[in-house]
């Protein structure tokens, strides 16, 4: 697992738009035309791609664990079925990130944009550190506060919001169009999860 600084406290709301910090601006490196440069051009990132994809894979796995364990703590059959479906979707997202990681060039542990101060790496790790389910231990800790379907839905909404924010940050730091599109598709799916959960929460609380 990637070693990150201690997780900072946050107070994101469980409903309404989620905040997102501005991404540091960096400049692309110029290619010299060599075969090695052309290989790295196929996937251009402003961060250590292999490391950050590992973080994304861990977040999706922790989401899968959350949806499975949350089902065991609630009685509402409709919410249990939603969580069962979302668990399967998180597994699929994890698989896609694994495929993207496996398709990275050998330079994937190097940055392919000019970022001498490592601002993008630090920024993405900070965003990951803010995620509600950065580790499986955090999943267990937050689940202790789940007493019913409403609690579970609110926590699921927080998870999906944090995921959207982190994946948007990844997308912004990815210069290659195909990579941006793939991450964008995952973002849209996470946003659809968020809408589905929000609708169900409204049904139970209004």
Distance of CA 127 to the CA centre of its chain: 9
Kindly state the average pLDDT of the residues 5-32: 43
Give the pLDDT confidence of 46-99 residue by residue, as tens digits.
566 777 788 889 999 999 999 999 999 999 999 999 999 999 999 999 999 898
Q: In what helix (H) or strand (E) does residue 123 lie, and over which residues does it extend? A: helix 119-129
- pLDDT tens per residue, range 137-193: 889 999 999 999 999 999 999 999 999 988 898 888 777 777 788 889 899 999 999
- For the chain, the domains span 44-108+118-205
155: its two tokens: 């926590």
The tokens for 32 are 């010299």
What is the rounded distance in angstroms from the CA atom of residue 58 to the CA atom of residue 97?
10
What would the CATH number be for the domain defined by 44-108+118-205? 1.20.1260.10
Task: To the nearest 10°, report the CA torsion of 32, 38, 39, 41.
Answer: 90
Distance CA 63, CA 57 (A): 10
Entry pTM: 0.71
pLDDT number for residue 1 = 41
């Amino acid at each position: 697992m990637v070693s990150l600084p201690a997780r900072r406290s946050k107070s994101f709301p469980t409903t309404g738009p989620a905040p997102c910090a501005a991404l540091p601006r960096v400049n692309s490196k110029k290619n010299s035309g060599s075969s090695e440069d052309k290989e790295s051009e196929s996937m251009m990132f402003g961060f250590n791609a292999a490391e950050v994809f590992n973080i994304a894979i861990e977040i999706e796995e922790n989401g899968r664990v959350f949806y499975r364990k949350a089902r065991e703590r609630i009685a509402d059959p409709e919410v249990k079925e939603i969580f069962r479906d979302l668990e399967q979707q998180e597994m699929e997202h994890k698989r896609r990130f694994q495929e993207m990681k496996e398709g990275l060039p050998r330079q994937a542990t190097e940055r392919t944009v000019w970022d001498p101060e490592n601002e993008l790496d630090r920024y993405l790790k900070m965003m990951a550190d803010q995620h509600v389910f950065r580790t499986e231990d955090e999943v267990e800790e937050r689940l202790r506060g789940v007493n019913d379907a409403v609690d579970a839905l609110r926590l699921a909404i927080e998870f999906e919001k944090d995921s959207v924010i982190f994946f948007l940050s990844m997308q912004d730091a990815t210069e290659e169009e195909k990579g941006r599109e793939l991450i964008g598709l995952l973002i849209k799916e996470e946003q659809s999860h968020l809408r589905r959960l929000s609708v169900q929460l409204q049904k139970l609380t209004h």
